[in-house]
Amino acid sequence: MWLATAFFFQPSAAFSLCSRATDERIAELGQVLVQYPESLVIEEDPLGPWSLSVNPTLGERLPGRVLRLRSFYRACGVDLRTTVVGGPAQALHAIERVRSFGAGLNSRILQDTLAFALQSAAVTRLVAEHRAELTRRTRAVADALRSRGLEVLLPADDLLAWVPVADESHALLGLAVQRIVLAPSAQTFVSPTEGVSGYLRIATPQLADDPLLLASFANVIAAAVAGTL
Protein backbone atom coordinates (compact mmCIF):
# COMPACT_ATOMS: atom_id res chain seq x y z
CA MET A 1 0.00 0.00 0.00
CA TRP A 2 1.32 3.40 -1.01
CA LEU A 3 1.13 6.22 1.55
CA ALA A 4 1.31 9.88 0.60
CA THR A 5 4.48 11.60 1.82
CA ALA A 6 3.41 15.15 0.94
CA PHE A 7 0.26 17.18 0.37
CA PHE A 8 0.60 20.20 -1.92
CA PHE A 9 -1.86 23.00 -1.23
CA GLN A 10 -2.46 26.56 -2.40
CA PRO A 11 -4.79 27.92 0.31
CA SER A 12 -5.04 31.35 -1.30
CA ALA A 13 -6.31 29.79 -4.57
CA ALA A 14 -4.90 32.94 -6.13
CA PHE A 15 -5.63 31.98 -9.74
CA SER A 16 -8.99 30.31 -9.28
CA LEU A 17 -12.55 31.57 -9.10
CA CYS A 18 -13.13 30.56 -5.47
CA SER A 19 -10.37 32.94 -4.31
CA ARG A 20 -9.24 31.20 -1.09
CA ALA A 21 -9.96 28.21 1.11
CA THR A 22 -12.71 28.78 3.65
CA ASP A 23 -12.35 28.03 7.36
CA GLU A 24 -14.67 25.06 6.85
CA ARG A 25 -12.44 23.67 4.09
CA ILE A 26 -9.33 24.11 6.24
CA ALA A 27 -11.06 22.21 9.05
CA GLU A 28 -12.06 19.38 6.70
CA LEU A 29 -8.54 19.04 5.32
CA GLY A 30 -7.09 19.12 8.81
CA GLN A 31 -9.33 16.26 9.92
CA VAL A 32 -8.11 14.14 7.01
CA LEU A 33 -4.42 15.01 7.17
CA VAL A 34 -4.13 14.47 10.91
CA GLN A 35 -4.61 10.77 10.14
CA TYR A 36 -1.34 10.75 8.17
CA PRO A 37 1.28 12.09 10.60
CA GLU A 38 4.20 11.17 8.32
CA SER A 39 2.95 13.38 5.47
CA LEU A 40 4.41 16.86 5.03
CA VAL A 41 2.01 19.66 4.05
CA ILE A 42 3.47 22.11 1.51
CA GLU A 43 1.56 25.38 1.21
CA GLU A 44 2.28 27.86 -1.58
CA ASP A 45 1.60 31.58 -1.46
CA PRO A 46 2.26 32.64 -5.08
CA LEU A 47 1.34 36.32 -4.67
CA GLY A 48 3.42 37.14 -1.60
CA PRO A 49 2.96 40.83 -0.70
CA TRP A 50 0.35 41.18 -3.44
CA SER A 51 -2.18 39.23 -1.37
CA LEU A 52 -4.87 41.56 -0.10
CA SER A 53 -5.53 39.57 3.07
CA VAL A 54 -3.87 36.99 5.30
CA ASN A 55 -4.06 33.59 3.64
CA PRO A 56 -5.43 30.61 5.58
CA THR A 57 -3.07 27.87 6.69
CA LEU A 58 -3.12 24.37 8.12
CA GLY A 59 -0.20 25.26 10.39
CA GLU A 60 -2.30 25.70 13.53
CA ARG A 61 -4.03 22.36 13.03
CA LEU A 62 -0.88 20.47 12.04
CA PRO A 63 1.99 22.00 14.03
CA GLY A 64 5.45 20.99 12.88
CA ARG A 65 4.18 19.55 9.60
CA VAL A 66 3.55 22.56 7.35
CA LEU A 67 6.13 24.00 4.96
CA ARG A 68 5.16 27.46 3.72
CA LEU A 69 6.46 28.81 0.39
CA ARG A 70 6.04 32.52 -0.28
CA SER A 71 6.93 33.89 -3.71
CA PHE A 72 8.07 37.45 -4.27
CA TYR A 73 8.96 37.65 -7.95
CA ARG A 74 5.47 38.72 -9.06
CA ALA A 75 5.52 41.67 -6.69
CA CYS A 76 9.24 42.51 -6.86
CA GLY A 77 10.04 41.62 -10.49
CA VAL A 78 10.68 38.46 -12.49
CA ASP A 79 14.45 38.87 -12.13
CA LEU A 80 14.03 38.27 -8.41
CA ARG A 81 12.91 34.69 -8.96
CA THR A 82 13.27 33.38 -5.45
CA THR A 83 11.01 32.19 -2.65
CA VAL A 84 11.04 32.45 1.13
CA VAL A 85 10.49 29.12 2.88
CA GLY A 86 9.38 28.59 6.47
CA GLY A 87 8.54 25.43 8.35
CA PRO A 88 9.90 22.56 10.45
CA ALA A 89 13.68 22.54 10.89
CA GLN A 90 14.15 19.03 9.47
CA ALA A 91 12.50 19.95 6.16
CA LEU A 92 14.36 23.27 5.96
CA HIS A 93 17.72 21.58 6.51
CA ALA A 94 16.96 19.11 3.69
CA ILE A 95 16.12 22.00 1.33
CA GLU A 96 19.24 23.88 2.38
CA ARG A 97 21.45 20.89 1.52
CA VAL A 98 19.95 20.63 -1.97
CA ARG A 99 19.91 24.37 -2.72
CA SER A 100 23.39 25.19 -1.42
CA PHE A 101 25.47 23.26 -3.96
CA GLY A 102 25.48 22.14 -7.58
CA ALA A 103 22.84 22.89 -10.23
CA GLY A 104 20.21 23.61 -7.58
CA LEU A 105 22.27 26.39 -5.99
CA ASN A 106 20.17 29.36 -4.96
CA SER A 107 21.97 32.62 -5.78
CA ARG A 108 23.31 34.37 -2.69
CA ILE A 109 23.02 37.67 -4.55
CA LEU A 110 19.29 37.12 -5.09
CA GLN A 111 18.83 36.09 -1.47
CA ASP A 112 20.61 39.21 -0.22
CA THR A 113 18.65 41.39 -2.66
CA LEU A 114 15.35 40.00 -1.43
CA ALA A 115 16.41 40.37 2.20
CA PHE A 116 17.24 44.02 1.53
CA ALA A 117 13.95 44.61 -0.31
CA LEU A 118 11.88 43.10 2.50
CA GLN A 119 13.43 45.54 4.97
CA SER A 120 13.20 48.59 2.71
CA ALA A 121 10.39 51.05 3.38
CA ALA A 122 10.81 52.45 -0.15
CA VAL A 123 10.38 49.02 -1.76
CA THR A 124 7.39 48.25 0.45
CA ARG A 125 5.78 51.53 -0.60
CA LEU A 126 6.40 50.88 -4.31
CA VAL A 127 4.92 47.38 -4.08
CA ALA A 128 1.83 48.77 -2.32
CA GLU A 129 1.42 51.50 -4.95
CA HIS A 130 1.78 48.98 -7.77
CA ARG A 131 -0.74 46.68 -6.12
CA ALA A 132 -3.24 49.53 -5.78
CA GLU A 133 -2.76 50.35 -9.46
CA LEU A 134 -3.48 46.73 -10.42
CA THR A 135 -6.68 46.80 -8.38
CA ARG A 136 -7.74 50.03 -10.10
CA ARG A 137 -6.99 48.51 -13.51
CA THR A 138 -8.98 45.37 -12.72
CA ARG A 139 -11.98 47.43 -11.66
CA ALA A 140 -11.71 49.47 -14.87
CA VAL A 141 -11.72 46.28 -16.96
CA ALA A 142 -14.72 44.95 -15.03
CA ASP A 143 -16.62 48.22 -15.48
CA ALA A 144 -15.93 48.25 -19.23
CA LEU A 145 -17.15 44.67 -19.62
CA ARG A 146 -20.23 45.18 -17.45
CA SER A 147 -21.18 48.28 -19.43
CA ARG A 148 -21.48 45.93 -22.42
CA GLY A 149 -23.91 43.68 -20.59
CA LEU A 150 -21.44 41.02 -19.48
CA GLU A 151 -21.34 39.33 -16.10
CA VAL A 152 -17.93 39.71 -14.47
CA LEU A 153 -16.72 37.87 -11.37
CA LEU A 154 -13.78 39.26 -9.39
CA PRO A 155 -12.07 37.06 -6.78
CA ALA A 156 -10.71 38.75 -3.68
CA ASP A 157 -7.18 39.35 -4.97
CA ASP A 158 -8.35 41.37 -8.00
CA LEU A 159 -5.84 40.03 -10.53
CA LEU A 160 -8.24 38.06 -12.72
CA ALA A 161 -11.60 38.91 -14.23
CA TRP A 162 -13.83 35.92 -14.96
CA VAL A 163 -16.53 36.22 -17.62
CA PRO A 164 -19.02 33.31 -17.95
CA VAL A 165 -19.39 32.02 -21.50
CA ALA A 166 -21.74 29.41 -22.98
CA ASP A 167 -19.14 28.00 -25.40
CA GLU A 168 -15.64 28.50 -24.04
CA SER A 169 -13.80 26.66 -26.83
CA HIS A 170 -15.51 28.68 -29.56
CA ALA A 171 -14.88 31.94 -27.69
CA LEU A 172 -11.19 31.17 -27.15
CA LEU A 173 -10.75 30.29 -30.82
CA GLY A 174 -12.40 33.53 -31.91
CA LEU A 175 -10.20 35.54 -29.56
CA ALA A 176 -7.07 33.78 -30.81
CA VAL A 177 -7.94 34.91 -34.35
CA GLN A 178 -8.00 38.45 -32.94
CA ARG A 179 -4.53 37.81 -31.42
CA ILE A 180 -5.92 37.66 -27.88
CA VAL A 181 -4.81 34.51 -26.08
CA LEU A 182 -6.49 33.39 -22.86
CA ALA A 183 -5.82 30.20 -20.92
CA PRO A 184 -8.69 27.67 -20.88
CA SER A 185 -10.53 27.76 -17.56
CA ALA A 186 -12.84 24.73 -17.91
CA GLN A 187 -10.03 22.45 -16.73
CA THR A 188 -9.91 24.27 -13.38
CA PHE A 189 -13.34 22.92 -12.36
CA VAL A 190 -14.27 19.42 -11.23
CA SER A 191 -17.74 19.81 -12.71
CA PRO A 192 -19.08 22.59 -14.97
CA THR A 193 -21.60 25.16 -13.81
CA GLU A 194 -25.06 24.60 -15.24
CA GLY A 195 -25.45 26.55 -18.47
CA VAL A 196 -21.79 27.59 -18.50
CA SER A 197 -19.12 25.61 -20.32
CA GLY A 198 -16.39 27.75 -18.83
CA TYR A 199 -15.16 31.27 -18.24
CA LEU A 200 -12.97 33.71 -20.06
CA ARG A 201 -10.21 34.16 -17.51
CA ILE A 202 -8.63 37.57 -18.10
CA ALA A 203 -5.31 38.42 -16.45
CA THR A 204 -5.81 42.14 -15.89
CA PRO A 205 -2.17 43.07 -15.02
CA GLN A 206 -1.20 42.28 -18.62
CA LEU A 207 -3.68 44.72 -20.17
CA ALA A 208 -2.60 48.10 -21.46
CA ASP A 209 -3.60 51.06 -19.30
CA ASP A 210 -5.16 53.00 -22.16
CA PRO A 211 -8.90 53.88 -22.33
CA LEU A 212 -9.14 53.41 -26.10
CA LEU A 213 -7.38 50.04 -26.05
CA LEU A 214 -9.49 48.97 -23.07
CA ALA A 215 -12.71 49.87 -24.91
CA SER A 216 -11.57 47.96 -27.98
CA PHE A 217 -10.63 44.96 -25.84
CA ALA A 218 -14.01 44.99 -24.08
CA ASN A 219 -15.80 45.06 -27.45
CA VAL A 220 -13.88 42.00 -28.63
CA ILE A 221 -14.60 40.11 -25.39
CA ALA A 222 -18.31 40.95 -25.70
CA ALA A 223 -18.33 39.64 -29.27
CA ALA A 224 -16.56 36.45 -28.16
CA VAL A 225 -19.14 35.83 -25.44
CA ALA A 226 -21.96 36.46 -27.92
CA GLY A 227 -20.34 34.04 -30.38
CA THR A 228 -20.12 36.62 -33.15
CA LEU A 229 -16.36 36.75 -33.70
* pLDDT tens digits for range 94-116: 888 877 777 767 777 878 887 88
The span from the CA of 80 to the CA of 82, in Å, is 6
Residue 100 confidence (pLDDT): 76
Contacts 24+ apart (CB under 8 A), 31-38: 33/7, 33/58, 33/61, 33/62, 33/65, 34/61, 34/62, 36/3, 36/4, 37/65, 38/3, 38/5
- Across the range 57-71, mean pLDDT stands at 91
- Across the range 120-132, mean pLDDT stands at 88
Residue 102 confidence (pLDDT): 72
Between 39 and 185, name the one with better pLDDT: 39
pLDDT exceeds 70 at position 1: no
The span from the CA of 206 to the CA of 183, in Å, is 13
pLDDT exceeds 60 at position 194: no
- The model's pLDDT over 146-176, given as tens digits with 9 standing for 90+, comes to 999 999 998 877 788 999 998 888 999 999 9
Give residue 46's Cα distance to chain centre: 6
- Across the range 76-80, mean pLDDT stands at 72
Residue 58 confidence (pLDDT): 93
pLDDT exceeds 80 at position 187: no
Residue 101 confidence (pLDDT): 75
> Is the distance from CB of 86 to CB of 68 less than 8 angstroms?
yes
Give me the CATH topology for the region 6-119.
Answer: Aspartate Aminotransferase; domain 2 (3.40.640)
Q: What are the boundaries of each domain within the chain? A: 6-119, 137-226
The CATH class that applies to domain 137-226 reads: alpha beta
The torsion angles phi and psi of 176, rounded to 5 degrees, stand at: -60, -35
- The band of 183, judged by pLDDT with boundaries at 50, 70 and 90, is confident
pLDDT exceeds 60 at position 195: no
111-141 burial, b at 16+ Cβ within 10 Å, e below that, comes to: eebbeebeeeeebeeebeeebeebbebbebb
Residue 139 confidence (pLDDT): 92
pTM: 0.80
- Across the range 67-77, mean pLDDT stands at 82
Closest CA to 45 of 57, 59, 33: 57
**Mean pLDDT of the chain, nearest integer:** 85
